[in-house]
Amino acid sequence: MALSVPCGFLVLDKPAGLTSHACVARVRRAHGLRRVGHGGTLDPAVTGVLPIALGQATRLLPYLCGDKVYRGVVRLGISTSTDDLEGELLAERPLPALDATGIERALDAFRGAILQRPPRVSAVHVGGERAYVRSRRGEVVELPPRPVTIQRLELLGWSPQSAELELSVQCSAGTYIRALARDLGELLGCGAALARLRRTAALGFQLEQAVALEDLPAPLLDPLLALAHLPHQPVPEPQWHDWRCGRPVVALRPLAAGSPVAMLGPDGSLAGMALAVAGGLLQPKLVFDAAG
């Protein structure tokens, strides 16, 4: 059962200077599709992995793994209005005596589940508006802290001469590396801002899978690659018609209620998504090639 309309992913190696929205527009033109969406916004200055869903794959975005991996450089001794080098310089302070051991101790405060206050200039909604819109009007926006998880935080290098340190960060969706840089600077007592950032993985996709904008149009990745973290099950042949009509089908193994499952058609391709429900059944939530 082949999908009758496009359904797949592209992984863009986003260049600096473009918004995520602009990248989506480029893909839309290159592939001649209107239904295109991205997973995980990147600031214009940030480069790296930007997953793009095309066609029916846009409906799969809520089911993808939200974790992301970054490699970034933090400059100590400064504070800015945007928590990176793109913003207005607010303060400069001397550095304390630091070595790799002291920096590692400071990083311990940010490993695991933490509360993080998003940058004032961010896409977080405040009173129905994006925070960056209010900031551009000159409003002082104080955003409340939000729970995020930093699964891995590694110090890759420290240069006292440039006052810069390099980090590798694996984190949950909603984590701001700019905010991590700012808070690390506050903890060290000298201020800090994000100098450079590159995303190396997002939503289950890796930098090795990425293509440049100049290489568009490019072959689409199988949507099943994005769902590797979820259980897969073929639709039982006798229940294929029930599936296409949106009726529950039998789960072939025990699953916790609410677990999402990638459902496969007779040819092994993606037939849609289901949720495990009581009674050992799978309730269709997204059906490709639905009957009628």
Residue-range domains of the chain with CATH = 7-64+203-226 (3.30.2350.10), 68-200 (3.30.2350.10), 230-287 (2.30.130.10)
The whole-model pTM stands at 0.91
The pLDDT score that the predictor gives to residue 64 is 96
Tell me the pLDDT band of 40, cut-offs 50, 70 and 90: confident
- Which residues make Cβ contacts (< 8 Å) with residue 114, sequence separation at least 6? 147, 148, 149, 150
Share of the chain above pLDDT 90, in %: 85
215 catalytic? Reply is: no
| Cα 250 to Cα 181: distance, rounded to the nearest angstrom | 49
Tell me the pLDDT band of 1, cut-offs 50, 70 and 90: very low
Provide the H-helix boundaries in 201-271: 240-244
Q: For 48-74, what is the mean pLDDT?
A: 96
Burial class (CB in 10 A: 0-12, 13-18, 19+), 66: middle
Q: For 106-118, what is the mean pLDDT?
A: 97
Tell me the pLDDT band of 132, cut-offs 50, 70 and 90: low
Catalytic residue among 43, 67, 83, 84: 43
For residue 130, what is the enclosing H or E element? Answer: strand 129-130
pLDDT at position 157 over 80: yes
